[in-house]
Amino acid sequence: MTAQIMVEDGEGRFAAHEHRDLAVGLAYIGDTIERSREFSSAELWARLHHTMGWLERELQPHLVWEDTWLYPDLDAIAGTPWATKLPRYEHRQIEAGIAALAADSVRWLGHATPQTDAEMVAHLSAIRALIGAHIEREDRFLLPLLEDRRAPAG
C-alpha cells in the first residue's frame, strides 16, 4: 500500500500512528542521552551508529512523506500554504542536524575522548529536541485539521 493510499484511507489516524512509531526511536535517543555516563566510548559509538541508521531508515522517509503527501493536503484544507511553512522549515533544521551529526560522527570515529563523547551526547540531545518539538507541534496544530475535515457539519 502506498503512502498516498494510506493518507486517503487513514489521514489523521495514519499520521498519528507514524508519530507513535517515531516515538520509539526518540525514546532510544533519550535513553542513550540519559545513560551516556554508563556507556564506554565504544558503546556510545554503537548507539550513535544505531541512531544514525534509524534517522536514515525511519525518520528521513517520514519527512519526505510529510512534505510530499501530508503537507499539501493540510495546505488545501487550510486554504493557504502558510499552514505548513513552519513545519517545512523545521524539516530543514532536522535535516541539517542529521547532516551535522553524520559529519561529526566520521570525525569522532576512532578518536574517542571524554570531549568527543560529550559532543556526541550534545548532538543527540539537539536532534531529539528538534524532532520532539516538531512532532508535538504537528500533533497539536496540524493533525487536528484532518480530523476537523472529517467531522460532520452542524
The H-assigned helical ranges of the chain are 3-10, 12-34, 41-54, 60-65, 71-78, 85-108, 114-137, 143-150
Residue 107 belongs to domain spanning: 13-147
Residue with cell 512509531: 21
CA atoms of 110 and 78, how far apart (whole Å): 50
For 18, the grid coordinates are 507514524
2 in any annotated domain: no
- Model pTM? 0.86
Average pLDDT per consecutive 10 residues, the chain (154 residues; last block may be shorter): 39 72 96 97 94 97 96 96 97 97 89 93 97 96 86 57
46 in any annotated domain: yes
5 in any annotated domain: no
Longest dimension (CA), the chain: 64
CA atoms of 44 and 52, how far apart (whole Å): 12
18 in any annotated domain: yes
108 in any annotated domain: yes
Domain count, the chain: 1
Q: What is the pLDDT of residue 153?
A: 57
Whether the Cβ atoms of residue 121 and residue 39 lie closer than 8 Å to each other:
no
8 in any annotated domain: no
58 in any annotated domain: yes
CA atoms of 43 and 82, how far apart (whole Å): 43
CA atoms of 47 and 6, how far apart (whole Å): 32
